Homo-oligomer: A and B are copies of this chain.
């Protein structure tokens, strides 16, 4: 009697997951408490071990439980409020909100890498880099000042793009497949020039995201993304 999918019902492994999450969220199983072993759950639900294993393994990936081979499964100690922070193309983000994206290209140029840039890109000082500065708009209002350097080796035709319609992020995604990226989020006051472009006051609080992406073996791009603190925020959601 294979395939016990009860038709129009949740998959069996989802039911096991729900059961376990319910016990935890209702406080019956506290952090550190043991979760029934796979064989126990197998008997309880009348399912094969592979199915039970999938359910509990996914909960472990989600950080709900902790598994130790040879020892057992326990309710995770730290219900870390972790969730994937989506870092996406700003233009697509605006479109998704049903608003009108826009861009003002302030600068597109070649530059020689100074010491700091050379270190970030792991190239010799005075190597050529591409540089662009763009203000992104949402319904005509500035929401991001993008100051970006690009490695010519990763995207030789970067400077020829029309950044009014194709954002640098989008172009790089398509032409320099990302293998790694690191970012930091902090806060910074707007300089006089930045404040002017973002239509805010000098010294006003901004969100600053710096992002470095690696494509293949080389550093492809380094960007400083400045958001008006009052007009932009990152969201996250965590659900058991």
The residues of A with any CB-CB pair to B shorter than 8 Å are 24-27, 30-31, 50, 61, 78-89, 92, 173-174, 177-189, 203-208, 211, 213, 215-216, 227, 229-230, 232-240
Contact = CB atoms under 8 A, between A and B. Distances in A.
A170 to B, nearest CB: 9
B186 A232 contact: yes
Contact of A184 (B27, B50, B211, B235): B235
Contacts of A177: 24-25, 27, 30-31, 79
B81 A178 contact: yes
Number of copies: 2
Contacts of A88: 78, 80-81
Nearest to A87: B81
Given A203-B203, A205-B187, A31 B229 contact: no
A206 B207 contact: no
B205 A236 contact: no
